[in-house]
Amino acid sequence: MIDVYICEDIKEQRDIIAHYVKAAILIQEYDMKLRISTDNPEELIEQLKKSENTGLYFLDIDLKASKNGLMLAKEIREYDPRGFIVFITSHSEMSFITFQYKVEALDFILKDDPHQLQHRICECIENVNRKYMKISRGGGKTITITRGGRKLTLAYDDIMFFETSVNEHKLVVHTKNKSMEFFGKMKDIEDEVGTDFIRCHRAYLVNKNNVKEVLYADKVIIMKNEAECPISHRMFGHVRSQI
């Protein structure tokens, strides 16, 4: 999951950027969410401190606030050294100064042309998604599902459980923050993920590493995100021996 942050002091421009970001995430079904859109750098930092996810930051340089976008970017680097920073500004002459602050900006976008602005924002989001997927595959186990004709790579650590959908030939994967339906067979998923997951019910396959507690008397598994998965009578002994 990637959290997206926007810091822009002009409300009209901030709303436009937020609209472009939300539209791109929705249309392309990226594993991202807009965490905050604000004119206050301190609010952004407070939200960043609460998040465990990698961030994508769209920052105006000339903020009418306690710190400008460059100062904000430098502070962001203290909390999210691997995050992706994009500067959006009307001042083309500021591009060189961004390098002096050594914040390793991903891109520098001029907001003079609205159509070009949307295109560049979408390009940045696509680029970040591609880079993030490579990072995810490079460290830790992942599984790739196909949804809406697009391949989506999910880290095991983010997955709570898989569930059989009410729609035929489909499954639902529940992550820390969202649920997604996709075509698949439970047996195929079970074979692929191996011993990190356990079948507790014919319709449920749970991530053992994300189990919060097991209420054997109630025959239910509580996941770390507080979701509940039932334990069937047939699977009861198996679950008890594994968790």
**Domain identity same for 116 and 12:** yes
- For the chain, what percent of residues have pLDDT higher than 90? 63
Q: What's 69's domain CATH number?
A: 3.40.50.2300
- Between 12 and 147, residue with greater pLDDT: 12
β-strand pairing of 32-38 with 2-7: parallel
Q: How confident is the model at residue 131 (pLDDT cuts 50, 70, 90)?
A: confident
- For the chain, what percent of residues have pLDDT higher than 70? 92
pTM of the complete model: 0.63
Q: What's 204's domain CATH number?
A: 2.40.50.1020
**Domain identity same for 96 and 164:** no
Cα separation, 231 vs 211, in Å, equals 13
Domain span at residue 95?
Answer: 2-138
pLDDT surpassing 60 at residue 139: no
Cα separation, 89 vs 94, in Å, equals 8
Question: 64: which DSSP letter?
Answer: S
Q: How confident is the model at residue 98 (pLDDT cuts 50, 70, 90)?
A: low
**Domain identity same for 163 and 106:** no
**Domain identity same for 11 and 38:** yes
Domain end position, chosen among 101, 118, 138: 138
Q: Report the domain count for the chain.
A: 2
Predicted local confidence at residue 92, as pLDDT: 62
Q: How confident is the model at residue 107 (pLDDT cuts 50, 70, 90)?
A: confident
**Domain identity same for 156 and 236:** yes
Predicted local confidence at residue 111, as pLDDT: 82
Predicted local confidence at residue 13, as pLDDT: 94
Looking at the chain, the number of H-run helices and the number of E-run strands are: 7, 15
Cα separation, 62 vs 40, in Å, equals 12
Question: Which tens digit of pLDDT belongs to each residue from 72-82?
Answer: 999 999 999 88
Domain end position, chosen among 90, 115, 138: 138
Predicted local confidence at residue 99, as pLDDT: 54
Domain end position, chosen among 77, 108, 138: 138
**Domain identity same for 32 and 124:** yes
Predicted local confidence at residue 103, as pLDDT: 63
**Domain identity same for 88 and 22:** yes
Predicted local confidence at residue 53, as pLDDT: 87
pLDDT surpassing 70 at residue 97: no
**Domain identity same for 134 and 152:** no
